[in-house]
Amino acid sequence: MRTAVLLAAAGSWCVGITACSGGSAGLSRTDYIGRAGAICRDANAALRKVKGDSSTPAAVAASINEVVSIERAAAQQLRELRPPSPDAHAVSQWLTLVDGSLDELEAAGRAAALGDGLGAAAANVRSGALQQQADAAALQFGVTACAAAVAPTTPSTTPAR
């Protein structure tokens, strides 16, 4: 989903709005991909509106938290979709990678709030690595909209002095 560099690209996942579930067997693969893509496109649009601010540690943390909030909401919507039964495991693995990336992004926010630029950067790198894996899983499944990088830009994870 998100490809880049938090606060040097605070990320865009497959995340967005409206969730639907299918029958007990889940949605068809085509319907799942379409609905998941819509969620991701909506989230990406919301992420483009995030104005990254690196003026203070608190501002960096607030920018990161805004991104995480958008992405967590979208990930929840994706979980509410019922994938086709044969694909449930692959979708679960993909969303587990998304969660891991968001956990690291939150760690970057906590470090930034403490003025720990190195800690924020390290967590951001870990988040990015997990996000690349999540992007690959989304692409393999066919949810290309969830692997597209649309990230707000912020000069760095280190506040200006």
Question: Strand, coil or helix: what is 55?
Answer: coil
- Tens digit of pLDDT for each residue in 33-90? 999 999 999 999 999 999 989 999 999 999 999 999 999 999 999 999 999 999 999 9
Which residues, 6+ apart, have CB-to-CB distance to 69 below 8 Å?
A: none
Asked if 77 and 16 count as a contact pair (C-beta separation under 8 A), the reply is yes
- What angle separates helix 117-141 from helix 88-113, to the nearest 10 degrees? 160
Of residues 67 and 2, the one with the higher pLDDT is 67
> What are the boundaries of each domain within the chain?
29-146
Quick one: average pLDDT of 24-28? Answer: 81
Query: Within 13 Å, how many C-alpha atoms sit on residue 81's CB side?
Result: 31
Which pLDDT score, from 0 to 100, does residue 25 have?
72
**Mean pLDDT, the chain, integer:** 82
CA–CA separation, 8 and 73 (whole Å): 22
Q: Rounded CA gap, 4 and 153, in Å? A: 10
Confidence of residue 10 (pLDDT cuts 50, 70, 90): very low
In the DSSP assignment, the letter for residue 4 is S
Confidence of residue 124 (pLDDT cuts 50, 70, 90): very high
Token digits of residue 65: 């938290």
Q: How many CA atoms lie within 13 A of 117 on its CB side?
A: 11
Q: Which pLDDT score is estimated for 148? A: 58
CB 11 within 8 A of CB 37: no
